[in-house]
Amino acid sequence: MRTNVGEDFARALASKDSARMRELFADQIDFQALTPGRHWQASTPEKAVDDIILGVWFGPQDDIHELRSVTCGQVRDRERVTYRLGVKRNNTEYVVEQHAYYESDGTHITWIRMLCSGYRPESLE
């Protein structure tokens, strides 16, 4: 089954595979993201993956236990990926959804803009 770079990224994130995530980014990446409380920027795969994505957003204490959905598409010459994760943090279950628009050379993401829902409680009870 063939996947695209965006789906590969979502799957690598869901398994917290930092090496694969860094491999999917170009050596110089134009990375920007919005989470509910902050704007993030990076220009290298190490900064984007190690310092931001797996350093803050989904740290060592966070258990991503499920990739619930992945959808991919295009908006003219720009690609997009949306994914939803089941995450356990501090003994509480959450849902996190992220949307990303990106450009790639077919193998590496060179430009990406991400938007995150934040950690939303699994149960509203």
CA nearest 107: which of 3, 2, 1, 5? Answer: 5
Q: CB 62: neighbour CB atoms within 10 A?
A: 18
CATH number, residue 89: 3.10.450.50
| pLDDT at residue 7 greater than cutoff 60 | yes
In this prediction the pTM is 0.92
Q: pLDDT tier at 106 (50, 70, 90 boundaries)? A: confident
As for how many domains the chain has, the answer is 1
| pLDDT at residue 2 greater than cutoff 80 | no
Q: pLDDT tier at 123 (50, 70, 90 boundaries)? A: confident
| pLDDT at residue 124 greater than cutoff 80 | no
Task: Give the domain range for residue 98.
Answer: 5-121
| pLDDT at residue 26 greater than cutoff 60 | yes
pLDDT tens-digit map of 43-89: 999 999 999 999 999 999 999 999 999 999 999 989 999 999 999 99
Q: Which residue has the tokens 């509480």?
A: 92
Residue 76 CA to its chain's centroid (Å) = 22
What is the model's pLDDT at position 1?
Answer: 45
